Amino acid sequence: MPKRNTSPSEGELPVDAPERRRLPPILRRAWYGLNQAFRRRIAHLEITPDQFTVMRILREVEGLTQRQLTQLMSSDPNTVASLLERMERAGLVERRPHARDRRAHHVELKPPGHRKYELAREIAVALQTEVLSAIPAGEREGFLANLASVADACRSAADERPSG
């Protein structure tokens, strides 16, 4: 069995050392916990965290097509199509044909969607404040900036073509 580099004077632990913190399980645990907490807190609004994300993006960026929304959500087209179908049935969004591209659809938030978004946003802000309180106040913005850099690096890695 190869000897592991575990002494602080010898440098960092090997990437595969069992005692080392690993990015994927930590990110998954954080995302899952945050998603479940938010899901429970907005259940009375009869929306999901993904539906909230759709509403937030549609509030922030007007005139989006379904394809653009899919990209901004970092999701796949079938998942977003299914999500939008459920939201349309609930009266939260409307999809209309694109003026120049028959294959494309504009997605628009309807008034009931705006109302539910506002209620859910208050809950989201409170939850974010609660969760980020685990980090000292002076370090929160730096943490979020670093996390955004990690997310960008993950997206770049996903977009790369495998060699070989």
Q: Look at residues 39, 30, 21, 28 and name the one whose alpha carbon lies nearest to residue 134.
A: 30
Q: Which pLDDT tens digit goes with each residue over 8-66?
A: 445 677 767 766 778 888 999 999 999 999 999 999 999 999 999 999 999 999 889 99
pLDDT at 4 exceeding the cut of 60: no
Judged by DSSP in three states, 109 sits in strand
Per-residue model confidence (pLDDT) at position 11: 63
Can you give the pLDDT at residue 2?
47
**Would you tell me which CATH number, out of the four given (1.10.10.10, 1.10.150.120, 3.40.50.12280, 2.60.40.420), belongs to the domain 47-134?**
1.10.10.10
Higher pLDDT, 162 or 85: 85
Can you give the residue ranges of every domain in the chain? 47-134
What does the pLDDT read at residue 1? 46
| Both structure tokens of 66 | 């379904």
Give the pLDDT score at 19.
Answer: 66
**Higher-pLDDT residue of 74, 137:** 137
3-state class of 70 per DSSP? helix
* pTM: predicted TM-score of the whole model, two decimal places: 0.80
3-state secondary structure of 5: coil
Res 117 pLDDT > 70: yes
DSSP E strands in the chain: the ranges are 93-97, 105-109
- Kindly state the average pLDDT of the residues 72-100: 92
Instruction: For residue 125, give the nearest of 3, 41, 19, 11 by alpha carbon.
Output: 41
Q: How long a stretch of residues is the chain?
A: 164
Structure tokens at 107: 């997605």
